[in-house]
């Protein structure tokens, strides 16, 4: 079996709503606008990059790179840099291929960012091919399933007012969900006010987590964590800039609330630095940024340090969601809950023949060979910015 064809599909999907519900800055003529509270650009569209790898004998596999902005960048890396060295290779040589692709631009300093995002998409497609070749789900190739249902927590309450946030949270509780993570960073007093209202409304048996989106200094994050202790918050995600591993080490050693880190990091080398410094209590690799191979390698590394793994899942579409769920099933030191974006899954399912399901507070792992999903290729090609 040999790789015969590689196709990339940068996707931009226009929807009436935008991610996390922001409406500020949308009057720009450009696709991207600045979210001041998060200090980074967001798209007016839902964007991603899908890749299809086709092999001799007719087997094809799908992968996805997390691409909330500029999906065509990772697409060009695959089509122009990767394709010439991948054609004719055995797709089952996943480890060899990963190291080969990673080494292509290593001496030029491109060992993170879009380069590794592109590798991740190809890597997931190769796992999908391997599962189809052997006739088993990917989680079987990863060693088997420790769990067949994946408990989910709601990520975000994308409505404006406090009363509206509380009402939306209560509606998720009524639907069987038992945990919510709120994106904050609007100022400490406001963050505390929101979390206190949610705790009072949802009760002591409901889990609450916080994503602070890099908005605090160490001193501020320590103060925030101490004020959150009375609210029994499960974890504090990414309160500091991701480069500040020394600051994270100080924070994690000082506060009782577990600190999470890792969504911006892509390789086991970076995670080794995080873990050696004891910079967090829970690691959060994202399959759309590190691929299945690295996510599992990071998970095994974290196990050596006694750290649980809570895979990050934000705007990744069906390829990212399915790959994440297969990893969740096979991770020994899984945190116990998977991030779930209610505004993303319905859009992701529009591109699938059969939907991925998240009901009564839990994901079902897609069954069938490979990743267990089948794309509607006509729809993928229609929405691909390559064909617009």
End-to-end CA distance of the chain: 33
220: its two tokens: 């501020």
Torsional class of 363: left (φ above 0), alpha (ψ -120 to 50), beta (otherwise)? beta
Q: Quick check: 210 and 260 in contact, CB under 8 A?
A: no
Q: What distance in Å separates the CA atoms of residue 254 and residue 251, rounded to the nearest whole number?
A: 5
Q: 197-203 long-range CB contacts below 8 Å, 24 or more apart?
A: 197/162, 197/165, 197/166, 198/165, 198/166, 198/169, 199/231, 199/232, 201/166, 201/169, 201/170, 202/169, 202/170, 202/173
99: its two tokens: 């190291």
Closest CA to 300 of 334, 260, 254: 334
Q: What distance in Å separates the CA atoms of residue 31 and residue 189, rounded to the nearest whole number?
A: 33
Active site residue 312: yes
Q: What distance in Å separates the CA atoms of residue 212 and residue 55, rounded to the nearest whole number?
A: 43
The residues, ordered by sequence, that sit 6+ positions from 27 with a Cβ below 8 Å of its Cβ are none
Q: What distance in Å separates the CA atoms of residue 342 and residue 358, rounded to the nearest whole number?
A: 9
3-state secondary structure 72-125: HHHHHHHHHHHHHHHCCCCCCCHHHHHHHHHHCCHHHCCCCHHHHHHHHHHHHH
- Identify the three-state secondary structure at position 247: helix
Q: Which residue of the set 213, 268, 312, 326 is catalytic? A: 312
Q: Report, as residue numbers or ranges, the catalytic residues.
A: 312
């Amino acid at each position: 079996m040999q790789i015969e064809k590689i196709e990339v599909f940068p996707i931009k999907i226009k929807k009436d709503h935008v991610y996390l519900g922001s409406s500020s800055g949308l009057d720009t003529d450009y696709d991207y606008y600045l979210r001041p509270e998060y200090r980074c650009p967001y798209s007016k569209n839902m964007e991603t990059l899908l890749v299809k790898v086709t092999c001799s004998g007719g087997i094809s596999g799908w992968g996805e790179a997390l691409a909330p902005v500029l999906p065509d960048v990772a697409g060009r890396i695959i089509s122009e840099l990767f394709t010439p060295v991948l054609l004719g290779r055995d797709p089952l040589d996943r480890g060899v291929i990963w190291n080969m692709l990673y080494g292509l631009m290593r001496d030029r300093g491109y060992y993170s960012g879009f380069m590794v995002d592109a590798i991740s998409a190809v890597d997931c497609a190769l796992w999908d091919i391997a599962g189809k070749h052997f006739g088993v789900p990917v989680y079987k190739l990863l060693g088997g399933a420790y769990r067949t249902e994946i408990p989910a927590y709601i990520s975000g309450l994308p409505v404006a007012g406090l009363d509206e946030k509380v009402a939306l949270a209560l509606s998720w509780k009524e639907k069987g969900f038992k945990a919510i993570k709120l994106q904050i960073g609007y100022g400490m007093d406001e963050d505390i006010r929101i979390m206190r209202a949610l705790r009072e409304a949802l009760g002591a048996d409901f889990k609450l987590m916080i994503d602070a989106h890099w908005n605090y200094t160490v001193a501020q994050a320590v103060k925030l964590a101490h004020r959150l202790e009375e609210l029994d918050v499960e974890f504090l995600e990414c309160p500091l800039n991701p480069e500040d591993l020394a600051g994270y080490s100080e924070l994690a050693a000082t506060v009782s609330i577990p600190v999470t880190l890792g969504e911006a990091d892509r390789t086991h080398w970076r995670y080794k630095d995080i873990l050696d410094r004891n910079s967090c209590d829970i690691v959060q690799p994202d399959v759309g940024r590190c691929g299945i191979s690295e996510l599992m390698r990071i998970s095994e590394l974290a196990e050596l340090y006694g750290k649980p793994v809570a895979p990050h899942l934000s705007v990744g579409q069906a390829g990212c969601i399915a790959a994440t769920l297969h990893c969740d099933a096979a991770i020994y030191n899984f945190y116990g809950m998977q991030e779930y974006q209610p505004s993303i899954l319905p859009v992701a399912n529009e591109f699938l023949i059969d939907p991925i399901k998240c009901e009564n507070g839990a994901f079902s792992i897609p069954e069938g060979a490979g990743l267990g999903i089948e794309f509607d290729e006509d729809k993928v090609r229609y929405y691909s910015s390559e064909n617009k």
